[in-house]
DNA sequence: CGGTTAGATCGACTGTTGTCAATGAGGAGT
DNA sequence: ACTCCTCATTGACAACAGTCGATCTAACCG
């Protein structure tokens, strides 16, 4: 489940490769990278704060947040009508480690 | 050109996001991750050494090496009929930094 | 030169992905 | 209850990406 065995020390199993590829794929999109960047800069933001800067429709934003949540990179906290998004920094650190830390 | 401004310190421009997404996209594939892993483990390998472990056809391997080279992650050294592949560790380190080092 | 071999390129097919308009679900306020 | 408001979901479509067979290029060896 994505622990130990960083990429550059060799011996990456197929299952590990698939799992890591999934997480990296979640980050491999300009809109999602900017989304993460925005959340990182503001601590906690709601979807309506993302729509403007990212220049995408509301369903598209919703789609991207979902992808990031499923990758374990983003966390959503529902409060009334709003959903507040925040990063999961440990997950980013984990990816960094797997990439050869 | 992908320097400074790590992801988690905010302020990622569109151009930077597109560029970073491209590199991450190059890594976001199980076959390519295992390819990198194999090269990392063996130092320098030729394509014929990859085809077996990766279980893909020769054109597919060639396609993946090309993607990785274009992303600056892999380097090919031609010697006679063979091409010897090696990693560009600085590039991986750079990505790690961008991811929030 | 002809034959073999390593790798790249092309063409086609398939599955996935980013996008939006339309609609749905549910809280908040009147 | 009724109406906004915020976000999620659905359906559709275009663009992209991974894969392989066939073909091409170029290097080595008799």
Which residues of chain A (40-99) touch nucleic strand D at CB < 7 A? 46-48, 58-59, 61-63, 65-66, 76, 81-83
Helix (H, G, I), strand (E, B) or coil at A1: coil
Position A5 scores a pLDDT of: 57
**What tens digit of pLDDT does each residue of B46-97 get?**
998 999 999 999 999 999 999 999 999 999 999 999 999 999 999 999 999 9
pLDDT, mean of residues A45-52: 94
Position A100 scores a pLDDT of: 80
pLDDT, mean of residues A16-34: 97
Alpha-carbon gap, residue A88 to A36, rounded angstroms: 10
| Core vs surface per residue B14-51: b (16+ CB within 10 A) or e | eebbebbbbbbbbbbbbbbbbbbbbbbeeeebebebbe
The answer to whether residue B3 scores a pLDDT higher than 70 is: no
B18 vs A contacts (CB less than 8 Å): 30
Look up tokens 């991986």; give the residue.
B92
Please tell me which residue, A5 or B69, carries the higher pLDDT value.
B69
Task: For chain B, positions 3-42, list CB contacts with chain A under 8 A.
Answer: 7-12, 14, 17-18, 20-22, 24-25, 27-34, 36-38, 40-42
Record: contact B8-A33, CB cut-off 8 A: no
pLDDT, mean of residues A20-39: 97
Say whether the CB atom of B59 is under 7 angstroms from strand D: yes
């Amino acid at each position: 489940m994505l622990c130990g065995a960083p990429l550059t020390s060799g011996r990456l199993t197929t299952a590990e490769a698939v799992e890591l590829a999934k997480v990296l794929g979640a980050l491999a999109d300009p809109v999602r990278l900017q989304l993460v960047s925005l959340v990182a800069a503001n601590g906690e933001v709601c979807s309506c704060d993302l729509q403007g800067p990212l220049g995408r429709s509301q369903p598209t934003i919703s789609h991207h947040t979902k992808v990031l949540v499923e990758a374990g990179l983003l966390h959503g906290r529902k409060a009334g009508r709003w959903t507040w998004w925040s990063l999961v920094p440990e997950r980013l650190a984990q990816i960094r480690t797997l990439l050869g830390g």
